[in-house]
Structures are given as structure tokens and as C-alpha cells.
Amino acid sequence: MAQVTVFACRATIDRHREALSDAIHGAVMAALAYPPEKRFHRFIGLDPADFVYPPDRGDDYTIVEVSLFEGRTVDSKRALIAELFGRIEAATGIAPHSVEVTFFETPKVNWGIRGVNGADLALGYTVEV
């Protein structure tokens, strides 16, 4: 399971929402072997006054936070970061220098999904990649 939240200035989100979603989902499928139907994205568009960051990041500065079950290898997380940088730049023109990625990993037991505890959930895909 992965839930993705994207933070950027509202204008950036409005301009790139669909391309960002496609790039992010493509990266998750490639690096973590996710099925195509498992797309869970939230876009938080902020007013410039509510989004403070160093000026060298540029107007399209974007933060991608990925919440997921623990169990991925270091190699798969490194691959996901590389996939995200490459796919986001190709799809939107947002340079890797203007993108930051953070993973938040928790045990399955800390999730509730479709009315059951995540530890008891039949996923249909493997987490240990």
C-alpha cells in the first residue's frame, strides 16, 4: 500500500496535476511492482504565502511524500526516488533540483484499509521488493 501526497504552489498543481499523477504512479509501478489500479494520490495546492522554501528551488518546487507499509528494500526505495525524479522531469519539466521526496514507512498493523487491519489484508501484490 502506498499513499502519495504532493505539495506545491497551487499554480504548479493546477498546471501539472494529471502529469504528476501519471509520473508518480508510473514510478511506483516500476520501482515497487504495484498494480495499475492501485493509484492513491492527494494534491495539496498552497498559496505562495503558505509555502516557504529557499528561492533556489524555483517556482515549481514540489514535495512528494509517500506513506507505505514497511518492508521495501533499500534498493527498491533508491529506485523509486530515481524513477520519481526522472519521470516528473520528463512529464512536467520540473527539474530534480525542485523536487523533494520523503518516505514514511509504518508496519501494516498501523493501517486500516477496507474495514480490516492492514496486517490482515490480502493485498494481491508483494511488499517485500
Task: Express each pLDDT in 23-40 by its tens digit.
Answer: 999 999 999 999 999 999
Rounded Cα distance, 17 and 23, in Å: 10
Supply the DSSP string of 17-86, one letter for each residue.
Answer: HHHHHHHHHHHHHHHH---TT---EEEEEE-GGG----GGG-TT-EEEEEEEES---HHHHHHHHHHHHH
Spatial separation of the C-alpha atoms in residues 120 and 48, rounded to whole Å: 42
The mean of the pLDDT values for the chain is 93
Indicate yes or no: pTM above 0.85: yes
How far is residue 2's CA from residue 34's CA, in Å, rounded to a whole number?
A: 9
Give the residue carrying C-alpha cell 509517500.
Answer: 66
**Does residue 125 have a pLDDT over 70?**
no
At residue 113, the pLDDT reads 85
Q: Which CATH architecture has domain 2-120?
A: 2-Layer Sandwich (3.30)
Delimit the domains of the chain by residue range.
2-120
Q: How many CB atoms lie within 10 A of CB 105?
A: 13
Interval 62-98: pLDDT, tens: 999 999 989 899 999 999 999 999 999 999 999 999 9
Cα separation of 98 and 37, whole Å?
28
